[in-house]
């Protein structure tokens, strides 16, 4: 039997932490290894406890979840962060994705969806669909640096990818699922998964969500633009 997924709970509301802990402790493959009420304590706990997944509230006094996420991703890249927010398409959640979180959940998430998200993130996937990430980026794109707008001609950011990997990359950046990409490119879903894994490795990206963010940051996608028009 594989080791349980180690989870650290970070929220300034003790009742919220207690509720999440009750849900997760009922799952045999998940272990709550610690709790923290603020960002600084979360960083110390993460260093000591080596969690696989951190549930991180974004709005906390002192060091908020965005800064805590940024520092945690730098110091413990193996730990995956899911941010918790009260509002869908929240600017705070967007900031956390930019900082390196692997997705976000609303605080009123259903228990089954919470457990599914933790398992997905622990397995290297994301707790938010690329399509929803794309919607968030369309809303907050003005805050992203577009390297493609520089006066200096930049090197092709996708030069490491094969032509087929490039096709898959742009489809993921468009917010398509593996099934949709497979249908679009006339390949199997298994082949798409292989290409996605190669893309993440070559571009040193954490997951599919960061493919979308990276595409925006490198000027490969503009708000409302379909990647099918990109060369």
Cα distance between residue 80 and residue 98, in whole Å: 14
Between 176 and 69, where is the model more confident? 69
Between 85 and 152, where is the model more confident? 85
Query: Please, which pLDDT band fits residue 229 given cuts at 50, 70 and 90?
Result: very low
Domain map (residue ranges) of the chain: 5-128, 139-229
Interhelix angle 91-99/208-217, rounded to 10 degrees, is: 90
Cα distance between residue 54 and residue 77, in whole Å: 12
Between 188 and 124, where is the model more confident? 188
Least confident piece of the model among 7-11, 104-108, 148-152: 148-152
The class that CATH gives domain 139-229 is mainly alpha
Q: pLDDT, tens digit, for every residue of 112-133?
A: 989 998 998 888 777 776 666 6
Q: Which of 196-208 are b and which e, b meaning 16 or more Cβ less than 10 Å from the residue's Cβ?
A: bebbbeebebbbb
The residue behind tokens 């993440």 is 200
Give the pLDDT of residue 140: 63
* Fold adopted by 5-128: Rossmann fold (3.40.50)
pLDDT averaged over every residue in the chain: 84
């Amino acid at each position: 039997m594989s080791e349980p997924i180690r989870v650290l709970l970070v929220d300034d509301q003790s009742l919220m932490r207690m509720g999440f802990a009750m849900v997760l402790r009922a799952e045999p493959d998940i272990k709550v290894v610690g709790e923290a009420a603020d960002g600084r304590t979360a960083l110390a706990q993460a260093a000591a406890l080596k969690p696989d997944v951190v549930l991180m509230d974004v709005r906390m006094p002192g060091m908020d979840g965005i800064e805590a996420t940024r520092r945690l991703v730098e110091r413990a890249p193996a730990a995956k962060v899911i941010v918790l927010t009260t509002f869908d398409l929240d600017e705070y959640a967007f900031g956390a994705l930019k900082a390196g979180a692997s997705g976000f959940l609303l605080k009123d998430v259903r228990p089954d969806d919470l457990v599914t998200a933790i398992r997905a993130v622990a397995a290297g996937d994301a707790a938010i669909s690329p399509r929803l990430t794309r919607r968030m980026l369309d809303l907050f794109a003005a805050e992203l640096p577009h390297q493609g707008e520089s006066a200096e001609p930049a090197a092709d950011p996708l030069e490491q990818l094969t032509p087929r990997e490039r096709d898959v990359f742009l489809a993921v950046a468009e917010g398509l699922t593996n099934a949709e990409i497979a249908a679009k490119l006339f390949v199997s879903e298994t082949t798409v998964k292989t290409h996605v894994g190669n893309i993440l490795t070559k571009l040193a990206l954490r997951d599919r969500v960061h493919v979308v963010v990276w595409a925006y940051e490198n000027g490969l996608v503009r708000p409302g633009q379909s990647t099918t028009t990109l060369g």
